[in-house]
Structure 1
C-alpha cells in the first residue's frame, strides 16, 4: 500500500509531542504511560487518516453523465464523502447527504439532513423517503451516485408496510443488546425495510447507478454496508425470522418483505479496515515496534482478555494491532461501548504489568452510544480505579470506570468509518 506508506513517512518527520492533538488527555496518567500513549494515539490516527474520503475517493468517481447527477450520501462519513465529490465534480450536481445528529458539516450544492444512530427516529424515516424520491426522479441518461458508509442502516430507515417506528425501534434495540454480530442484525433489517436490501437501486432504474462505499463490516460484504440499499441480497425472510427466534426477540406481525435478488449497478469500494490496519502497522514500525496485525470479530470482553494474554506472551518491542467489530451482550445499565469493554477486560488481565499499554477505539469517533471513541488502558488501570472493576464489567459500565481514571479517548466525529482499531504496545 504505497499510498499509506507516504502518509506514514510524512507523519514520522514530526516528533511525537509535536503532533496536533497528542498528549492532551488529563487525569490518572503516569509519566511513562504519557509517552507510550502518545505513540498509541499516533498509530491510531495514522490508521484513521489513511481512510479519509478526500484521500481515497477521487480515483473511484465515475464520468459525469449526459443528463443530471443525483448524489445520495448516507452514513457517518456522508458529509466528507459528498464534499469530496463536490470538489472533484465537473457539471451539474444536486442531491442529499444524511448524517448523524450533531453533524456540523455543510455542503455547497448538496442538502444535508441529520438523523439518529444507532436506533432510527422520525428523521431517519423522512431521510429514507427523500432518498427514494430523489432516486425515482432520475431517468435514462442520468446518474445516481450513492455514497455509502457505516451507520447508514439507522440513518436512513423506512419500516416495511404495516410496521410502526416504535416497533422497529424495539427490534433494533433488542438486537443491539443481544450480542448479535452486525451481519445477522442486518439480515433482519433488510427484511423489515422498504429501503434496504437493494430497494434504493430498484427506485433508481432506469438511470445509471454507481455506489462508492467505505466498509465497516467483516469481509467488506456489499449487502452489509448500510444493509445494502443498492445491491442484491442473498438472504431470505425465513433466515431473518430464525435470527429473531435465536435471540429470543419477539417477531413483528407486519413489515416483512423479500429483499431484491437482482440489481443492476456499479459498486466500488474506496476504503476498508485493511487499509487502516496497514497504515497503523507502518506507523508502529516507524516508531520501532514489530507489528502483528489481525482482525477480530468477537464478544468485546473475550477479545480483550485474549489480546491481553497474547501481549503477556509477546516479547518487548511488539505491537499488537487489530481491527474488526466487537459485540457486547448487554445485561447491565452502565455506560460505554464495545471498545471500552474490550479495554476494561484487557486492563484486568494486565493488572500488575505496567510495561503494556493499549488503546481501543472506533475510527468514526463514537464507541457504541458513548461520546468517547474508546479508552486507553495499561497494567496500572485497575490500580488507579478505587472501586470494584469486576462489578463494573459485569454491568457493562466500562465507560464510567474510564471516566473516573481519566482514560477516555475522545476525538469527536472523524469523517470516516472503517470500524474499530485497537493497539497494544509491549515495552521493556
Structure 2
C-alpha cells in the first residue's frame, strides 16, 4: 500500500474506535431472560448507544433510564434517555440520579436489572449525601480536574460525596438480580472505578484524606471534614454475591484492532499496552526516547514500525485555564522532544472524541509540525507551558475532529517510525 503516514495513523485510530463500538461489543454479553421484569439503567458517554443496541436485541419488554452527556443521545423506544452535565454535574445530573433510584425501587427477586456503565458516568449521576449540596460537588470536581489526580483518585473522592455511587445503586435494587456491562475507560479495568461503580461492590481504596492532602485541593474545610469522615456502607457484601459483571470493551481491544490492521499493511507493531498512565508530558518524553532510539536503527528499506499505547494521561493545570486536553498536551510535548526527526509521525486522540475542553478528539504531528508552527508565529513551548496545546494543532490544521464517538476506552496513541523522510 502507499505510505501516507498522516492518513494511515488516522485510519488506525478509526479502526480502533470502531472495534469498541457498542454494536460490536454488546451482542456477545446478553444475559438470560428473567422470569420477571427487565429494567435497564446506565450512565456514561457510550451508554445511550449501549441501550439502543440492547433494545434492538432484546425480544421481550423492558424499560428504564440512562443518562448521557449532552449531544450523546440516541433514539430509543422504551428506555428513557436523560442528558446531563459533563464533566461538571448539573441539576439534570441530580434529577437523573433520583430517577434511576426510583426505577430500581420495589423490584423483586425475579426481576433483572441490566446496568450499562461507561466512562463519564460519574459526573452524570449526582446524588449528594447529607451536608453536601450540588454546588459543593461542582466545586470539588473542578478542583480535582485541575489537580492532576488520576481517575481512580477522582472517583474515590466522588464516591465519598454520593448516595448512589460505590455500589449504593445496586443496594437500592435489592432483591433483584443485576448484570452490569461495562465499557472501561480506566487503566486496569477496575469496574468499581468506572463511572464510580454505582452497581459494583467497591474495592478497598485509598483514604480520601490522603488524596485531599496530596493535591492540596482548594475546598472549604467543612467539605474536607465530611469527605474525610465518609465511609461507604459495604458491610453487607453478601448483597453483591451472584452479581454478574462483564467488561465488554477496553483500551486493549482498540489497540489490538489497530495492530491487526497495521500488520495487514505489512507494518511492524510494538504494542506497549493499554495502561500507560501518568502526567502527559512525562509519558511523551519516555515515548520520544523510545521512538528516537528505534529510528536510529531503521534502515532505508525497513517497513514502517508503529508504537501503540493506551491508558490515562493527566494534566495539572495549576493556575492556567488551558485549552486542550491530555492527548494534545502529550502530542505537543512529544513533538518538542522528537526535535524534527524526519522519520517520525504520531497521533494521540481520546476515543470518546473529546479531548479535555476542546472540540477535538486530539491531533497528529509530522516531522515538520514544529517548524510549520514557528513560521506561523506560534510558540510551541509557550503553548505547552500555558496548557493551550489544542491551539497548536488548530493553527496547523493538524487537529482530529470526530465529534462524540459514543464509545469510550480512554486514550489512543500511535507513533509511526518510517524509514524514509516524507
Aligned equivalent of 1:83, options 52, 57, 62: 52
Matches of 2:336 and 2:347, distance apart in 1: 14
Residue in 1 that maps onto 2:12? 43
Contact kept in structure 1, 2:126 and 2:134, CA below 8 Å: no
Deviation at residue 421 of structure 1 after TM alignment: 0.5
Counterpart in the other structure of 1:6: none
1:323 aligns to 2:310 (yes or no): yes
The TM-score, its normalising length taken from structure 2, stands at 0.91
User: 1:258 aligned to 2:231?
Assistant: yes
CA distance in 2, matches of 1:156, 1:137: 21
- Of the three residues 407, 412, 415, the one matched with 1:424 is 415
Residue-by-residue CA offset, 1:245-293 (whole Å, 9 max, x unaligned): 2111135044664224224222111111111111111111122221111
1:284 aligns with 2:257: no
Distance 1:103 1:53 in 2: 13
Q: Is the 8 A contact 1:188 1:241 kept in 2?
A: no
Correspondence for 1:388: 379
Kindly state the Cα deviation for residue 137 of structure 1 after the two structures are TM-superposed. 3.4
Q: Deviations over 1:150-205 (max 9, x none)?
A: 00001112122120111111111111111111111111111111110000000000
Q: How many residues align?
A: 396
Measure the CA separation in 2 of the matches of 1:104 and 1:151: 14
Deviates further, 147-156 or 266-275: 266-275
3-state SS of the aligned residue for 1:129? helix
* 1:141 aligned counterpart, secondary structure: coil
User: 2:395 is matched with which residue: 404, 409, 414?
Assistant: 404
- Deviation by residue 1:319-356 (Cα, 9 ceiling, x = unmatched): 01000010001132220000000010011112322321
Match of 1:11 in 2: none
Asked if 1:245 corresponds to 2:236, the answer is no
Mean Cα deviation higher: 217-226 or 377-386: 377-386
* 1:130-209 correspondence runs (5 A): 130-209=99-178
Which residue of 2 is the match for residue 12 of structure 1? none
Give how far 1:138 is off.
2.2
Contact 2:309–2:414 (CA under 8 A) maintained in structure 1: yes
In structure 2, distance between residues paired with 1:266 and 1:350: 46
2:363 partner SS: strand
Aligned to 1:23: none
Residue 301 of structure 2 is matched in structure 1 by none
Secondary structure at 1:219's aligned position in 2? coil
Residue 132 of structure 1 aligns to a residue whose secondary structure is helix
Helix, strand or coil for the counterpart of 2:394?
A: helix
Q: Deviations over 1:206-229 (max 9, x none)?
A: 111111111111111111111111
How far apart, in 2, do the equivalents of 1:335 and 1:311 lie? 27
Contact 2:73 2:83 in 1 (8 A): no
| Residue of structure 2 in register with 1:112 after alignment | 81
Shift of 1:305: 2.0
Aligned partners of 1:137, 1:117: CA distance in 2, in Å?
30
- 2:314 corresponds to 1:314: no
Which of the residues 127, 130, 136 maps onto 2:96?
Answer: 127
Task: Please give the alpha-carbon distance, in whole angstroms, between the structure 2 residues aligned to 1:103 and 1:219.
Answer: 25
1:221 alignment partner, SS class: coil
Residue equivalent to 1:22: none
Structure 2: state its 5+ residue gaps. Answer: 299-303
* Counterparts of residues 329-408 of structure 1 (less than 5 Å): 329-331=316-318, 332-385=320-373, 386-408=377-399
Contact 1:196–1:229 (CA<8 Å) still a contact in 2? yes
- The 5 Å alignment of 1:17-56 reads 35-56=4-25
Once the two structures are overlaid, the 10-residue window that deviates more, 194-203 or 267-276, is: 267-276
Offset of residue 104 of structure 1: 4.1
Q: Which stretch has the larger CA shift, 200-209 or 308-317?
A: 308-317
**Distance in 2, Cα, partners of 1:335 & 1:394:** 11
State the TM-score, normalizing by the size of structure 1: 0.89
- Secondary structure in 2 matching 1:291: strand
Return 5+ residue gaps in structure 1 as ranges.
1-14, 17-31
Residue deviations 1:96-155, cap 9 Å, x none?
121111224211111110011111111111111111111113222111110000000011
